[in-house]
């Protein structure tokens, strides 16, 4: 493997040979010399290549090089007299590996993010999406390092499942039946007993129920995998396929859960700031002014804690004219969440103890009988970033809740069985990985922080 641009730029001093292979970001051909900025994606900056007329292919090839061409350059690393870069590579040879046509869509001008989504196969070569992908990678690594350092075991939850964890019915069906003529039962309904799995199956909306199985044996586990929601939400914060991080801890209550969530978010932010300073400087300057200050503030200050009831009081007293009315019992909408995090406390908040009627069956019912030990972590700009709870570990209460919500106990027999055998208090949360990347980078639309966004009406690439 050749040295990456990142490694070359990190050399202590100029001098010595170097080789760079990558794609030309910009080419400037002035009289008697060509300047190529070559990027290999290893870091935000490219390496400046200087090509002089002595090169045998100078006139025939080098002069033709334009944006997007793939090149392989060898030369001498020298201090750069030019502004904006420390080193330049004085080329001894410039080989052309791949040309682009005149229709190469990434010219040196600003492209809208909407346009770039239509060329998702090329957009990683732009400054912004390249930076997003490196930050995303650093955040992903930080997810694992956080849990691994604390002794959590990664549990690989299934992608195909028969249970609807959120009970919201927003699942994608997995089937091999012929849609034109599926086998039918006597009443004319589709007979899924004849389907591939011998029953109805779906893409998972959450690995939580399986993570609970893991926690009931290994104590502290986490999942990190893709999850799917067939909800028709055309918002800047929803994807049909997104990555979720779900820790689950045995012998843990809601307080312990909230502490973990706070430590976790701070760890991920710190790791990104440390590993991607150049990318983050770019986001701070070009995407969201001040995002670095916001993140420094988040890392340094304790998260606010509020109960849902207190949050409702604050919203009612705010004098704001919200689109959705605020009243005890109704779910908080994104405008409410953003008001609380962005304007009221100006940093992340953990809101706890939501009304039980708006939350799924598996959350621990409080003694008041009307609220559950749920928590949402809200951050400025993005709103909800984490949803979690202490789980209901008492068999009778859980059965009653399932009945209330019209869920079949047969479908969840194994989940109930866990409550019969060594059931312990436990808690966990789900964090939408893309929302974290959005928060950290300041990118406005969630479709631009995942390489290949899946949203209603679109699954290209």
Contacts with ligand ATP by CB under 6 A lie at: 166, 229, 237-239, 242, 244, 384-387, 430-432, 434-435
Q: CB under 8 Å to 137, separation ≥6 — which residues?
A: none
Q: How far apart are CA 214 and CA 164, in angstroms?
A: 18
- To ligand ATP, the closest distance from the beta carbon of 225 in angstroms equals 12
- To ligand ATP, the closest distance from the beta carbon of 306 in angstroms equals 17
Distance of CA 218 to the CA centre of its chain: 26
Residue 23 or residue 433: which is nearer to ligand ATP going by CB? 433
- To ligand ATP, the closest distance from the beta carbon of 37 in angstroms equals 35
Asked whether 87 and 48 are in contact (CB, 8 A), the reply is: yes
- To ligand ATP, the closest distance from the beta carbon of 107 in angstroms equals 32
- To ligand ATP, the closest distance from the beta carbon of 448 in angstroms equals 13
In the beta sheet, which residues pair with residue 90?
A: 50, 76
Residue 425 or residue 432: which is nearer to ligand ATP going by CB? 432
Residue 85 or residue 445: which is nearer to ligand ATP going by CB? 445
- To ligand ATP, the closest distance from the beta carbon of 101 in angstroms equals 36
- To ligand ATP, the closest distance from the beta carbon of 238 in angstroms equals 4
Residue 237 or residue 338: which is nearer to ligand ATP going by CB? 237
Residue 99 or residue 241: which is nearer to ligand ATP going by CB? 241
In the beta sheet, which residues pair with residue 20?
A: 73
Residue 5 or residue 377: which is nearer to ligand ATP going by CB? 377
Residue 432 or residue 442: which is nearer to ligand ATP going by CB? 432
Residue 80 or residue 445: which is nearer to ligand ATP going by CB? 445
- To ligand ATP, the closest distance from the beta carbon of 265 in angstroms equals 11
Residue 430 or residue 442: which is nearer to ligand ATP going by CB? 430
- To ligand ATP, the closest distance from the beta carbon of 403 in angstroms equals 22
3-state secondary structure the chain: CCCCHHHHHCCCCCCCEEEEEEEEEEEEEECCEEEEEEECCCCCCCEEEEECCCCCCCCCCHHHCCCCCEEEEEEEEEECCCCCCCEEEEEEEEEEEECCCCCCCCCCCCCCHHHHHHCCCCHHHCHHHHHHHHHHHHHHHHHHHHHHHCCCEECCCCCEECCCCCCCCCCCECCCCCCCCCCECCCCCECHHHCCCCCCCEECCCCHHHHHHHHHHHCEEEEEEEEECCCCCCCCCCCCEEEEEEEEEECCCHHHHHHHHHHHHHHHHHHHHHHCHHHHHHHHHHHCCCHHHHHHHHHHCCCEEEEHHHHHHHHHHCCCCCCCCCCCCCCCCHHHHHHHHHHHCCCCEEEEEEEHHHCCCCECECCCCCEEEEEEEEECCCEEEEEEEEECCCHHHHHHHHHHCCCCCCCCHHHHHHCCCCCCCEEEEEEEHHHHHHHHHCCCCHHHCCCCCCECCECCC
- To ligand ATP, the closest distance from the beta carbon of 98 in angstroms equals 35
Distance of CA 44 to the CA centre of its chain: 20
Asked whether 207 and 163 are in contact (CB, 8 A), the reply is: no
- To ligand ATP, the closest distance from the beta carbon of 184 in angstroms equals 33
Residue 24 or residue 312: which is nearer to ligand ATP going by CB? 312
Residue 239 or residue 291: which is nearer to ligand ATP going by CB? 239
């Amino acid at each position: 493997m050749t040295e990456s641009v990142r490694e070359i730029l990190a050399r202590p001093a100029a001098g010595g040979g170097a080789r760079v292979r990558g794609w030309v970001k910009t080419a400037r051909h002035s009289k008697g010399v060509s300047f190529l900025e070559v990027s290999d994606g290893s870091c935000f900056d490219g390496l400046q290549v200087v090509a002089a007329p002595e090169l045998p292919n100078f006139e025939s090839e080098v002069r033709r090089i334009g944006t997007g061409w793939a090149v392989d350059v060898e030369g001498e690393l020298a201090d750069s007299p030019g502004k904006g870069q420390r080193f330049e590579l004085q080329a001894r040879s410039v080989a052309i590996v791949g040309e682009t046509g005149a229709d190469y869509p990434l010219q040196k001008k600003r492209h809208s993010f909407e346009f770039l989504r239509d060329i998702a196969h090329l957009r990683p070569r732009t400054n912004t999406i390249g930076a997003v992908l490196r930050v995303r990678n650093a955040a992903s690594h930080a997810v694992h390092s956080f849990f691994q350092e604390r002794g959590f075991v990664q549990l690989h939850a299934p992608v195909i499942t028969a249970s609807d964890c959120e009970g919201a019915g927003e699942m994608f069906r997995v089937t091999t039946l012929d849609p034109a003529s599926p086998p039918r039962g006597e009443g004319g309904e589709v007979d899924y007993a004849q389907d591939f799995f011998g029953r109805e199956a779906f893409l998972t909306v959450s690995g939580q129920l399986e993570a609970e199985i893991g926690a009931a044996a290994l104590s502290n586990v986490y999942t990190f995998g893709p999850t799917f929601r067939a909800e028709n939400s055309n918002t800047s914060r929803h994807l049909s396929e997104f990555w979720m991080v779900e820790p689950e801890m045995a012998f843990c209550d809601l307080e312990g859960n909230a502490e973990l969530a706070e430590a976790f978010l701070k760890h991920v932010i710190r790791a990104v700031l440390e590993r991607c300073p150049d990318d983050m400087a770019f986001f701070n300057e070009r995407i969201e002014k001040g995002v670095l200050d916001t993140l420094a503030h988040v890392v340094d200050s304790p998260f606010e804690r509020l109960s849902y009831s207190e949050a409702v009081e604050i919203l009612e007293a705010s004098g704001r004219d919200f689109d959705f009315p605020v009243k005890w019992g109704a779910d908080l909408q994104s405008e409410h969440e953003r008001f609380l995090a962005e304007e009221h406390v100006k940093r992340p908040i953990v809101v706890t103890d939501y009304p039980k009627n708006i939350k799924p069956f598996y959350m621990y019912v409080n003694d008041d009988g009307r609220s559950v030990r749920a928590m949402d972590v809200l951050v400025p700009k993005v709103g909800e970033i984490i949803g979690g709870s202490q789980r209901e570990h008492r068999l009778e209460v859980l059965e009653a809740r399932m009945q209330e919500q019209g869920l079949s106990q047969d479908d969840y027999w194994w989940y109930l069985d866990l409550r019969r055998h060594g059931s312990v208090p436990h808690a966990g949360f789900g964090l939408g990985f893309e929302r974290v990347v959005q928060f950290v980078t300041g990118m406005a639309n969630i479709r631009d922080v995942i390489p290949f966004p899946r949203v209603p009406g679109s699954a290209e690439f």
